[in-house]
Amino acid sequence: MLSSTPAELVPAPGHDDEFASLFPEGATLDLLAEGGTWFEGPTWTGEDEIVWSDVVGNRLLVWTPQQGAGILLEPSHHQNGHTVDNHGRLVAASHGERAVVRRELDGSWHVLVDRHEGRRFNSPNDLVVDSHDAIWFTDPRYGIDKPEEGYGGTVEMDGCRVYRLTPDGNATAVTPPHPGPNGLAFSPDESVLYLADSEVGHILAFEVLDGGARLGEPVTFARLDPGPPDGIRVDPQGRVWTSCASGIQVFAARGPSEPGERLGSVAVPQRTANLAFGGPEGKTLAITATSGLYRLQTR
């Protein structure tokens, strides 16, 4: 750990007690690693092992308390978002390969899908795996439009959508185009899919229908101020935790057709891209924010 400071917790009006109850007494924001250009895509690959992306640096990094920070894969082909699937395999959204890729248990990497109806994806950004082993991922254009975040190339898609990749290898588009689809997270019972749109600055909530085969019409769950939302996570009680320019904001759980209510925010010293729960009891947040990897204990 490089440094530790008291966490700056700012409850929203009327939510002081509820927001304070989310964190242990004396919670600290711990800086674990630094030196990136645009850290993204954190996930926990063990109780005390965090893997995350240096998107611009074209590296995949790993942190453990014993070893500190190190390089797991270089070049990483500008991987962005990560998650661990139900079988312990690391799954990544790859800007450079314009694909969803997976690290098998033997350490080898494979492309799972890189096109839809014959056209290459833009640059898959973030992903989540549901309980049926389907991988849901977003496909904005940042890895093409920002030359430092990918290998460039020609846009083949007529928009930026959310896709669902089922274990049989078929990817289907589950939304129409959105301006900047980015982070994804399910409600605890997987009845609602949340989508962060970084261009619009809001989080949408979709009802999941027909066992995941299709989504209902979205409702605006939250407009962020400050935005933009990038990576998002849902805790076991259904609260939505989102990244933003100033750190993290937390919204109360609501039904699929109701807007979320902001409970408060956690200040992070740098623009925050993403976050992930993990650690010994799943209560520790790993936070990627520009050039720093941070850790925050929650309850």
Tell me whether residue 114 is exposed, middle or buried, using C-beta atoms within 10 angstroms of its C-beta: 0 to 12, 13 to 18, 19 or more. middle
**Minimum distance of Mg ion from residue 254's CB (angstroms):** 23
Positions in 228-287 near Mg ion (CB under 5 A): 230
Closer of 95 and 103 to Mg ion (Cβ): 95
Taking the CA atoms of the chain, what radius of gyration do you get in angstroms? 18
- In whole angstroms, what separates CA 14 from the centre of its chain? 28
Site membership for Mg ion, residue 49 (CB under 5 A): no
Q: What is the DSSP string of 208-242?
A: EEGGGTEE---EEEEE-SS----SEEE-TT--EEE
CB of 63 to Mg ion, least distance (A): 19
Determine the interface stretch with Mg ion among 112-120, 122-130, 160-168, 291-299 (rule: CB under 5 A).
122-130
Helix (H, G, I), strand (E, B) or coil at 203: strand
126 touches Mg ion by CB under 5 A: yes
Shortest distance, position 46 Cβ to Mg ion, whole Å? 23
Closest CA to 43 of 297, 293, 298, 266: 293
Of 30 and 126, CB closest to Mg ion: 126
Nearest distance from residue 140's CB to Mg ion, in Å? 8
Least distance between Mg ion and beta carbon 98 (Å): 15
If the CB atoms of residues 81 and 212 are measured against Mg ion, the closer one turns out to be 81
The number of residues that bind Mg ion (CB under 5 A) is 4
Each as own residue / partner, the long-range contacts of residues 24-27 (CB below 8 Å, 24 or more positions apart, any chain) are: 24/297, 24/298, 24/299, 27/296, 27/297, 27/298
Residues that bind Mg ion (CB under 5 A): 125-126, 182, 230
